[in-house]
Each structure stands twice: as structure tokens, then as C-alpha cells.
Amino acid sequence: MSEPINILNQQKTKILSLIKEKAVLKQDVFHNTIKLFEQFKEQNRNTANDLKSQVSVIDKRIGIQYSDINQFAFQLKIAGDTLEFFMHTNVFELEKSSPLYKSPYIKQNILNAYCGIIYVYNYMSDSFKYNRLNDIGVLMARIFINQENHFFVETKLPVLSKYSNFSLDPISIDAIQEIINELIIYSIQFDLSVPPYDMVKDLSVNEINERTSWITLRTGKRLGFFSESNNEDDISFQL
């Protein structure tokens, strides 16, 4: 009888140990991610207010707007572009094949490989204005943060490559603002391209009957700027 009791006690000890290590860790990471997301919210809100007054002098037709969607999502509309920020509520471990996982920083403490993630997508503002549900957003960046408030940015924007490794220090407001500014700059420079003729030559009766074709057809931006060469990344969404 004592052997089953010992096994149960060992199992209980292991459960409590895992809770102490993993569950508490994930709560810490989640708390840091929430805090970072709130900082991104505040800086985006401030950016919108700052740009709005200055852009109105340039052209009153150009809209600048910050919008809260819910606790884990918000939008920054800059003229024809909308940046959508949203926070995943789960905590993830970096892939073991990732160079970051093999870095000295992670090797010193493997628990630093657990991160929260904030996603940033670029949409066309008209996609929301005209409720074009088939339109596509482009992932501009994923921002990772761990239990020590150290962060890195996964992106194909060359200007943000300096943030591609875990920061030496906890993330700062200046770094957050720099990331926001560069995302805005790239989204404005990231233009629509005319699709090949053969991609849009066929149109169903259903598509033409629902409002007008330019509203119902799938629209998105060209991805080519992400790549330094004309490889498989250089594709266009349907228009």
C-alpha cells in the first residue's frame, strides 16, 4: 500500500514544481506583455494626436485616427493605411531551431525563451471603410517580450533589423516610439500594385451583383518590398 502512496506523493510534488516553474513564469510573461501592449497603445494614441494637428494643415482630407478595438487590439489609421496591433493572450516558447534559442542569453536561463507576442498588420483603410471582408493585411512585425522585459522584433523591414536579437536592456519608450514610426513610414511607402490582367479577367455574376467589383474583389498590397531579390516572396495579392 505504501508504494502507490509514494507514487502519488511524487506526482503531486512534480505537479507543484511545474506550477511553480512554468505557470508562475507564464503569468510573469503575460503581465509584461500586457504592460508592453498598453505602452504601445499610449504611444500610438499620442502619435495620432500629434500627427492629426500637423496633417490637417497639409490637407484636411487626410484622416489620422487611433481606435481601441478591445483589450487586446487597437488600430492606427494613417490616411489610406491602417496598422492593426493585437496581442496574443498565450505565452510561447521560442523554436529550439531558432538562433535566438541557441544564444548565450537563453543558455544562461532557458526560461527566458518563453515570450508573449504582439502582432502588427498593415491593412488598407478602405478595407474597413467599405467592409471588404476578403481583403488581406500584411504582417509587418511580431514583437516578442520575455519575463525580464527584454524584447526582440521579428520583421522583414531592414530598418528594424537592429532589434532582431534580444535587447540587452528592458524595452524603453524611445524604442517603442521608434518601432511605431518605422512601421508608419513603411506602411505609407508600401503601395498597391496593378495586378496582372489575367488575374482579374474573370468575374462571377455573384461578384458583380454584390455592390461593385472593386469592392468585392480581394485587394491587398504587393509584398515585393520585403525581398532584396525577385524570388517567391515577390508576389501580389489579387485586386
Residues 136 and 202 in one domain: no
Overall number of domains in the chain: 2
For residue 9, tell me if it sits in a domain.
Answer: no
Residues 89 and 56 in one domain: yes
Residues 146 and 161 in one domain: yes
Residues 146 and 220 in one domain: no
Residues 183 and 218 in one domain: no
Q: Which residues pair with 236 in a beta bridge?
A: none
Residues 163 and 233 in one domain: no
pLDDT of residue 232: 37
Domain edge (last residue) among 160, 175, 190: 190
Beta strands at 73-78 and 92-93: parallel, antiparallel or unpaired: unpaired
pLDDT of residue 210: 61
Give dist(CA 91, CA 117) in Å, integer: 8
For residue 7, tell me if it sits in a domain.
Answer: no
pLDDT of residue 236: 32
Q: Retrieve residue 74's grid coordinates.
A: 487597437
For residue 8, tell me if it sits in a domain.
Answer: no
pLDDT of residue 97: 92
Residues 73/85, Cβ–Cβ less than 8 Å: yes
Residues 186/196, Cβ–Cβ less than 8 Å: no
For residue 16, tell me if it sits in a domain.
Answer: no
Q: Which residues pair with 122 in a beta bridge?
A: 83, 138
For residue 13, tell me if it sits in a domain.
Answer: no
Range of the domain at 229: 193-239
Residues 166 and 53 in one domain: yes
Residues 204/139, Cβ–Cβ less than 8 Å: no
Give dist(CA 70, CA 87) in Å, integer: 10
Give dist(CA 69, CA 157) in Å, integer: 26
pLDDT of residue 76: 97
Residues 135 and 70 in one domain: yes
Per-residue pLDDT of the chain (239 residues; tens, 9 = 90+): 567 778 888 888 889 888 888 899 999 999 999 999 999 999 999 999 999 988 888 888 899 999 999 999 999 999 999 999 999 999 999 999 999 999 999 999 999 999 999 999 999 998 888 887 778 888 999 999 999 999 999 998 999 999 999 999 999 999 999 999 999 999 998 776 666 777 667 766 666 666 554 445 556 665 443 333 334 343 333 33
pLDDT of residue 137: 87
Give dist(CA 141, CA 179) in Å, integer: 9
pLDDT of residue 19: 84
